[in-house]
Amino acid sequence: MVPSPGRVPFEVLVEHHGAAMLRLCRALVGFQEAEDVWQETFLAALRAYPELDDGANTEAWLATIAKHKATDHHRRGARLPAPMPELPEAADPGSAVGLPLEAAELWTLVATLPPKQRAAIGYHYLAGLPFARIGELLGNTEAAARRAAADGMKTLRARTNGDLP
Amino acid sequence: MTTTHTPEFPTLAALGSPEALAFDDDAVGRLSRSLSAAAEAEGLVDVAYRSVDTPVGPLLLAATAAGLVRVAYAVEDHGAVLELLAKTISPRVLKAPKRLDTVARELEEYFAGTRRVFDVPLDFRLATGFRLNVLAALPRIGYGHTASYAAVAELAGNPRAMRAVGTACAKNPLPVVVPCHRVVRSDGSQGGYLGGAVAKSLLLALEAGTRG
């Protein structure tokens, strides 16, 4: 146990970033798998927390861990046939009770976007990361990340307006 | 300091509706409870905490793997106490109530008048030197009894260190469980207390059997 000047209790991190990270995980791996990835993310973060640099941006740090956990998750699931996106209610009765229909439908639409677009939207609009950082996470550039998010948002806008199937 | 992002863009508005946010908060509450359990199982919770409601107000209870390390009154500011624990012991501080079940039950019994002695393991790492001697001596003042600062100084092995006894009591990391409330002035008046005068008189009345 190492004393850490400036480090807040881990519970505070969960309280402050838990919901945003859950939404990010949903964008990265879909609604049904998000909770597992969230757990793995926060457990890994807790393990590494004492070694985190003081003054580090904890949100960007958590988002990076979420990215790794989502990648692990995709790798594990790679051998399985890719499931068609379903409405969350169908997947896990109980866990989605109380989720408004509009939100459920939007999550389903997000799941239909190409992975980079989903990720860019998740990192920027749901986790609040700047595009320069997102470019690094996606292995491309700030401009490419910005474009991916814009393209994804455009598709979502069109689909929520019923302009696209 | 909160940096939680809620979707506030028209296209994503459905994700930021009050109902959707409430749903997400519920999910995070459930997830953080199972995170605590998983973290406990993996030995990753260096400081576990919970709070309990008592007749002297909400008490924060915090424990390391070695034992109960901190009991704090509301006036001490529980958030500030947890931040200090994160800095001095480990930042792996999680709300993990299970580890504190036993002491919570013993406190409940104590406030119900059915328990006189606490027998949970204590971690005294937040007190050192003479302060530690004082804390070690305090349980020798029996339930329902009081002792003067001078008497405690003597019990702690330094009869002239009355002021240091006062400091040790004022900084007791484990109030109620380590009974600094039983230390009073030699003229019989109650003296100060880290949890406030009202809490001290309530504890003394409880132990005297005159609380009613």
From the list B161, B164, B177, B180, the catalytic residue is B180
In terms of residues, how long is chain A?
165
Interface test with A, best of B35, B44, B69 (most A CBs within 10 A): B35
pLDDT (average), residues B44-54:
97
CB contacts of B44 in chain A (<8 Å) are 43, 46-47
Is the residue at B1 inside a domain?
no
Output the pLDDT for position A127: 93
pLDDT (average), residues B118-147:
95
Name the residue among B104, B60, B52 with its Cα closest to residue B80: B60
CB contact under 8 A, B94 and A153: no
B95 and B158 within one domain: no
Q: Which residue has the higher pLDDT, B97 or B173?
A: B173
According to DSSP, the β-strands at B147-148 and B183-184 are parallel
Is the residue at B120 inside a domain?
no
Measured over the CA atoms of residue B203, residue B206, residue B210 and residue B212, the dihedral's sign is positive
- Name residue B9's amino acid: F
Given a cut of 50, is residue B195 above it in pLDDT? yes
CB contact under 8 A, A35 and B12: no
Output the pLDDT for position A163: 65
CB contact under 8 A, A107 and B15: yes
Given a cut of 90, is residue B57 above it in pLDDT? yes
Is the residue at B4 inside a domain?
no
Minimum distance, in Å, between the CA of residue B179 and any CA atom of chain A: 28
Given a cut of 50, is residue B1 above it in pLDDT? no
Q: Provide DSSP, B48-84.
A: EEEEEEETTEEEEEEE-SSSEEEEE-GGG-HHHHHHH
Measured over the CA atoms of residue A114, residue A119, residue A120 and residue A122, the dihedral's sign is positive
Output the pLDDT for position B140: 95
CB contact under 8 A, B87 and A127: no
B98 and B68 within one domain: yes
pLDDT (average), residues B70-79:
97
CB contact under 8 A, B87 and A4: yes
B176 and B159 within one domain: yes
Output the pLDDT for position B11: 86
Is the residue at B72 inside a domain?
yes
Q: Return the residue of A nearest to B19 by Cα.
A: A100
User: In sequence order, which ranges of chain B are alpha helices (DSSP H)?
Assistant: 18-41, 78-88, 101-112, 129-137, 149-155, 162-170, 197-208
Minimum distance, in Å, between the CA of residue B67 and any CA atom of chain A: 15
Minimum distance, in Å, between the CA of residue A25 and any CA atom of chain B: 12
Side by side, the strands of the sheet bearing B68-72 are B68-72, B57-63, B47-54, B93-95
Query: Domain tally for chain B?
Result: 3
Is the residue at B118 inside a domain?
no
B104 and B56 within one domain: yes
What is the per-residue pLDDT across A120-160, written as a single tens digit (0 to 9) for each? Answer: 999 999 999 999 999 999 999 999 999 999 999 999 999 88
B51 and B37 within one domain: no
Confidence of residue B2 (pLDDT cuts 50, 70, 90): very low
Is the residue at B121 inside a domain?
no
Minimum distance, in Å, between the CA of residue A26 and any CA atom of chain B: 11
Is the residue at B79 inside a domain?
yes
* Interaxial angle between packed helices A142-160 and A131-138, expressed in degrees from 0 to 180 and rounded to the nearest 10: 100
pLDDT (average), residues B57-65:
98
Output the pLDDT for position B6: 63
B56 and B37 within one domain: no
Q: Which residue has the higher pLDDT, B8 or A142?
A: A142
Output the pLDDT for position A26: 96
B151 and B88 within one domain: no
B32 and B60 within one domain: no
CB contacts of A5 in chain B (<8 Å) are 87
Domains of chain A with CATH codes? 10-84+99-160 (1.20.140)
Q: Which of A16, A22, A107 sits opposite B27 (nearest CB)?
A: A22
Given a cut of 70, is residue A108 above it in pLDDT? yes
Least confident range of A142-146, B81-85, B202-206, B208-212: B208-212
CATH number at residue B168: 1.10.10.10
Place of tokens 């506030």: B8
CB contacts of B3 in chain A (<8 Å) are 16-17, 59, 128
| C-alpha to C-alpha distances, B179 to A52, B91, B137, B194, nearest whole angstrom | 38, 28, 10, 12
CB contact under 8 A, B14 and A11: no
What is the per-residue pLDDT across A43-90, written as a single tens digit (0 to 9) for each? Answer: 999 999 999 988 889 999 999 999 999 999 888 876 554 544 454 444
CB contacts of A1 in chain B (<8 Å) are 46, 89-90, 92
Residue B29: domain span: 10-41
B58 and B31 within one domain: no
Output the pLDDT for position B7: 66
B106 and B65 within one domain: yes
B177 and B149 within one domain: yes
pLDDT (average), residues B106-129:
96
Output the pLDDT for position A164: 63
Interface test with A, best of B17, B31, B94 (most A CBs within 10 A): B31
CB contact under 8 A, A50 and B92: yes
Which residues, at least 6 apart from B89, have a Cβ–Cβ distance to it below 8 Å?
A1, A3, B46, B47, B64, B69, B125
For chain B, give the mean pLDDT. Answer: 93
Q: Is B180 a catalytic residue?
A: yes
B185 and B141 within one domain: yes
CATH number at residue B82: 3.30.160
Is the residue at B5 inside a domain?
no
Output the pLDDT for position A84: 47
Minimum distance, in Å, between the CA of residue A82 and any CA atom of chain B: 25
Output the pLDDT for position A88: 45
CA distance B160 to B145: 22
The torsion angles phi and psi of B148, rounded to 5 degrees, stand at -80, 165
